Amino acid sequence: MSQIELVSEFKCFEGRQAHYKHQSKHLNCSMRFGIFLPPQAEVARVPVLYWLSGLTCTDENFVQKAGAQRMAAELGVAIVTPDTSPRGENVADDPNYDLGQGAGFYLNATQEPWKAHYRMYDYVVEELPELIEAEFKVNKKRSVCGHSMGGMGALVVALRNTHRYQAVSAFSPIVNPTQVPWGDKAFSHYLGDDKSLWRLQDPCELLSWADASQPLPMLIEQGSDDQFLKEQLKTDAIALAAQKKGYPITINYRSGYDHSYFFIASFIDSHLKFHAEHLY
């Protein structure tokens, strides 16, 4: 019996865009995810790009706004879009947009009331890929990409699991969350006072420990007019960390672009091509 239940399905660029729900063993609740299967998946197993969305998003924002399906169909890459947090009446929440449901920060919470459900790291790294590879015509070649909070998540899961991913990229990522308000708020609630756990969620910290002799291909896109750049994102911090480590990263600063999905839609094709180069 299938572990997943179809919610919706549409033909799209000769492939199919679908949404499913399932009961998550790590998150202890029902979860949704989107998947775009390119037409090549009709005849062969295809690689997968996992997209991690940002604060307040669901499994639908990227699917509807980024315009990624056309290029993914051309390249023969599946795209999986998980939700950004556990959800449900019995799942802990907070009235603020940057904590609780919609703000899982792709970590494993250790503190009450969050630890019963907020295990997004395990879900994204282990449970969801296992489910996708069992249920769909995909192979075990994976890449990961994300935006803002999800860009941070993509960098963290990739740097902590370089053997699991072929490449990583991010749009407007929170690169140094231990040093910014979003990270301080989320980590203090989800992880408590143990700063060693905080550092495991910080791309700049992880980069300082990474093996520069075997770097994971990494691409970052950042808009110069992003309203969160100076206070929350601090892209220059990861550029400096990479320089100190001798770790190659491509960072594109895009003049005039902000934090929105218009920015993502403008450059998503180049990111898909970047991933396809390493997935095939």
Tokens (6 digits) for 70 = 């056309």
Say whether 143 is catalytic: no
Q: How many angstroms separate the Cα of 224 from the Cα of each of 81, 151, 168, 204, 260?
A: 26, 17, 21, 20, 12
Taking every pair of Cα atoms in the chain, the longest distance, rounded to a whole number of angstroms, is 51
Catalytic entry in 59, 83, 202, 226: 226
Say whether 93 is catalytic: no
- Residue located via tokens 């996708």: 132
- For residue 3, the number of C-alpha atoms closer than 13 Å in the C-beta half-sphere is 16
Whether residue 105 contacts residue 201, with contact meaning beta carbons closer than 8 Å, is answered with: yes
Whether residue 130 contacts residue 51, with contact meaning beta carbons closer than 8 Å, is answered with: no
Catalytic entry in 24, 53, 148, 169: 148
Catalytic entry in 117, 147, 189, 259: 259
Whether residue 143 contacts residue 47, with contact meaning beta carbons closer than 8 Å, is answered with: yes
Say whether 172 is catalytic: no
Q: Which residues are catalytic?
A: 148, 226, 259
